[in-house]
Structure 1
Amino acid sequence: MWQWLSRAAVSDETADWLAECFSWAMQNFDVKRFRESTPLVLPTNDFFPKKVESIDGMAQYVFGQVVGYGGLQGWPWRLVPPSQFVAMQPPLLGLNPAVRGDDDVQTLVPASGPLELLMTYTPDQVAKPQDLVATMGHGVAQHMLWQSQLTPPGGQEYFLQAAEVLAVFMGFGVMVANSAYSFRGSCAKCYNPRANRLASLSESECVYALALFCYLQNIDRRFVAKHVKKYLKPALKSAYRQIERHPGTQHLQALAA
């Protein structure tokens, strides 16, 4: 009768994979930065204080904040409008995602192709900043994973999902969770699918990954709950409880300590 009070946030298999992803991330994508200088980026003026009037200007500003919080501001990024973006395989630049930050970035001349990493944005998302931040964080994480040339847990077919976990690992979990699902609402005229983020993880998986980040960073659940959508608060609580019981949590805490 009361089993619902302790139901799991995600399946055991999913919890195992997400724990494996965090272990893999800490071993390959700068655990020192994770434990010493990775903030939980929040949708507040403290993290995004500047107001920009133009769509392109706002996109450029948000992208600069994202790569700054991610410790990748020294990489050769170029954010372009959709009309100037051509989807192609990015060049391998010899960048080292195992060490993030201004002082440790080294760029090698690629064998071919331009010495830059192109990114674009969806103009409609500028009106939904959390979707924009999460989309950019996911895109940056994909570049980081590609430059590493590592195989993510589960294999290359999990590339996008692992990159989304990396975005959470870099501190963007609140926005990733809040933008994983967008309710259509009752008014079709108010619904703009172009403004919504295309998530690679389910909403419950995003919430669990956020909880895992916060648990390893010793961030109180009640503080995190203030910044997630109201209906996600019970799932966040369940995720914390499941993480406490998970057999791999002690190993992750040892890596993060």
Structure 2
Amino acid sequence: MLTLFKTAPLLDEQEQQWLIDTFVWAVEHFDSDYFLKHSQIVLPDQQFFPDSVSSIEDMASKVYQRVLDYAGMTHWPIQLVAPNQLQPQVFPQFAFSQQLRGVNSQLSIAPSHTIKVSFNPNQINQPQDLVASFAGTLASIMIHHVAVLPPGGKAFLAQAADALACFMGFGVMMSNTVYQFKGGCGSCYNPYANRQAALTEPQTLFMHALVCHFKGDKQSKKFLKPHLKSQFTKAQKQIKALLTNSANPLLLALEQQHVK
């Protein structure tokens, strides 16, 4: 009887460990200094996305520029093009002189051509999906450039891109767009507007909560969909318990900086 009302953890031990390992992988390979000093928890509000738009293309361009800026990738050789202009491409070779992200991420070896990315026009009426899709695309580009496989190897690249997008600060939108309810009006639901999530809602929320913990975030929970808030709280409790007992030196070092 004592276990009848015991709260089940948000994730099982294996899922949790993979996400922790992937967070450590992100810290080690995707500019921990930028993460600690400059990364923001990006919110779906006027503060982060204040632009007025006049067309589908204008909205896509302005959202993309905001996402690129918050990701710290404005110096990366990436170009947004219209969907009908996106063609198969070869990933160029390039290198940075200092940091991967931020104002110091200056190219030391210029690429022969830019990396072209595009957008899903169906997502114009679902801006959080648009933001999350851009974030996932940028995360995939970063992984390809750094060329260090995530925990679990090549089979987990899609999941790692979702996790890295959360690490870059887009966890609210990533969590809110894992699953879209059809709602009461079938004609209002457009399945083609939904992004293709590789992590489940609990997994995405756990990664977002982990990032929020080390960034000292207190605001993002209220921007989550109502049914996600309790899961986010559960993830926070699970993370606090995990970090209390962790022996991982990198996590301990981050925790000390977080406490300061």
Does TM, scored on the shorter chain, surpass 0.5?
A: yes
Shift of 1:40: 0.3
Distance 1:115 1:240, change over 3 A: same
RMSD: 1.9
Distance 1:95 1:163, change over 3 A: farther
Is residue 26 from structure 1 mapped to residue 27 from structure 2 by the alignment? yes
- 1:254: which partner in 2? 253
Deviations 1:5-61 (A, max 9, x none): 532111111110100111111111111111111110000000000111110111011
Structure 1 counterpart of 2:117, one-letter code: M
122, 125, 128: which one aligns with 2:123: 125
Per the normalisation by structure 2, the TM-score is 0.90
Distance 1:77 1:107, change over 3 A: farther
Which runs of structure 2 are paired with 1:184-199 in the superposition (5 Å)?
Answer: 184-199=182-197
Runs of 4+ in 1 over 4 A off after TM superposition: 1-5, 95-98
Structure 1 counterpart of 2:36, one-letter code: R
Distance 1:249 1:131, change over 3 A: farther
- 2:230: which partner in 1? 234
Distance between the aligned counterparts of 2:74 and 2:191, measured in 1? 30
Distance between the aligned counterparts of 1:70 and 1:190, measured in 2? 31
Which runs of structure 2 are paired with 1:91-130 in the superposition (5 Å)?
Answer: 91-95=92-96, 99-110=100-111, 114-130=112-128
Shift of 1:235: 0.3
Shift of 1:105: 2.1
Structure 2 counterpart of 1:139, one-letter code: T
Structure 2 counterpart of 1:199, one-letter code: A
- 1:244: which partner in 2? 240
Deviates more, 1:182-191 or 1:246-255: 246-255
Distance 1:5 1:65, change over 3 A: farther
Distance 1:78 1:219, change over 3 A: same
- 1:208: which partner in 2? 206
Deviations 1:93-143 (A, max 9, x none): 235795311223215244xxx420110100111111111000000000000
Deviates more, 1:77-86 or 1:139-148: 77-86
Is residue 169 from structure 1 mapped to residue 167 from structure 2 by the alignment? yes
SS at match of 2:107: coil
Identity of aligned residues (%): 35
Distance between the aligned counterparts of 1:107 and 1:126, measured in 2? 36
Distance 1:4 1:131, change over 3 A: farther
Structure 2 counterpart of 1:229, one-letter code: K
Distance 1:4 1:178, change over 3 A: farther
- 1:9: which partner in 2? 10
Shift of 1:215: 1.0
Distance between the aligned counterparts of 1:96 and 1:208, measured in 2? 33
- 1:74: which partner in 2? 75
Distance between the aligned counterparts of 1:48 and 1:147, measured in 2? 28
Distance between the aligned counterparts of 2:131 and 2:98, measured in 1? 20
Distance 1:249 1:51, change over 3 A: farther
Distance between the aligned counterparts of 2:16 and 2:84, measured in 1? 40
